[in-house]
Amino acid sequence: MKLDKHNDYYDSYERRSAYRYRQNKRRKRARNQFIVIATVCVILAIAVITGICLAVAGSNSASVATPDTAATPPNSTDLTTVPVTTTASPTTTVAPTKPNTEPNESPEVNPTSPLEPIVTADGRTLDPNKPFLALTFDDGPSTEYTEKVLKILQKYNARATFFVVGSRAENNPDILKDIVNAGCQIGNHTMAHSDLTDQSSSAALAAVEDVNDIIYDATGVNCHIVRPPYGSFDDSVCSTLSAYPLILWDVDTNDWRTGRTKSDIVDCVMDNAHTAAVVLMHDIHKVTMDSVEDIVKGLTEKGYQLVTIDEVYALQGIELLGGTVHN
């Protein structure tokens, strides 16, 4: 009995031990499951938070970059506005725009593409497939010679460009008007014909803009091209005159040199004439004025279209860019 009791007791003890053992085992399993689930949850939470942080950082950097990107178009617009505006001057011709068949095509004219005839503001039709060149006259206007040169040009329905010096131009507004009325173009040759590379930026800019004011007051035309005196320029000049195309030449008659004769000048032009040439002369010398008729007549007989600076580049599909040296 005692033994039975003991056995009973023992049995019940064993059952309780087995129960506790199972309970402990269940608790341990539950705890382990909880730890695993909690660990997974923490990892997922870290992953989600990291993802959100990266997304926020990405959108922040994009919003920082936006102003720079947005600032670019106005700058480029400013640059491109110069030549676009310049082509609207009265002496300027605007090439008929070719139908643009490709929407993504660059707006710049492709010089290799076939160019179409240009109808000028004064009613001329210029053919880019026939010879053409630009005569240019520097250092005037001259009260003695410029009007005579204009008469010869008009006689042959020819055009030229006159790069005037401000100190002469301001006393001769009527000659400036006659240049424009003859369908010719006026260019800027600075106020006092000083080397722009020897001047401060502000002085160089004033040397150009003062002449533009004189030209505008006399003619109502916004002059937009500059020929630096002596053809002298450097990076600083180009930067200072970033609004103005700098126009040089590729045929130099050397008409200013002592002893240069009429036949020297005429032969120089006729021997070196080629399509798109820019010829340098000076309408302040008698020998130059004496040479002009033979030159204009000879070139016209050879089939050359004598055009302005704006036209000579338009015929080539070349856009005149501010701060850039042409020819």
* Residues annotated catalytic, as ranges: 138, 282
Backbone angles phi, psi at 279, to 5 degrees: -100, 130
Q: Look up residue 93 and give its two tokens.
A: 């011709």
Residue whose structure tokens are 């700058």: 75
Interacting residue ranges for Ni ion, rule: CB under 5 A: 138-139, 229
Q: What is the DSSP code (8-state) at residue 15? A: H
Q: Chain-centre distance of CA 135, in angstroms?
A: 25
State which residue, 132 or 249, has the beta carbon closest to Ni ion: 249
Token readout for 129 is 């497939």
**Crossing angle for the helix pair 262-272 and 286-301, to the nearest 10 degrees:** 30
- Within 8 A by CB and 6+ apart from 225, the residues are 86, 161, 185, 187, 188, 244, 245, 246, 247, 309, 310, 320
- Rg (C-alpha) for the chain, rounded Å, is 41
Nearer to Ni ion, 83 or 229 (CB): 229
Nearer to Ni ion, 115 or 237 (CB): 237
Residue 182: closest CA among 205, 200, 157, 203? 157
Q: Which is nearer to Ni ion, 187 or 229 (CB)?
A: 229
Euclidean distance between CA atoms 91 and 309, whole angstroms:
10
User: Read out DSSP for 26-77?
Assistant: HHHHHHHHHHHHHHHHHHHHHHHHHHHHHHHHHHHHHHHHHHHHHHHHHHHH
Considering beta carbons, is residue 158 or 280 the nearer one to Ni ion?
280
Residue 193 CB, nearest approach to Ni ion (Å): 6
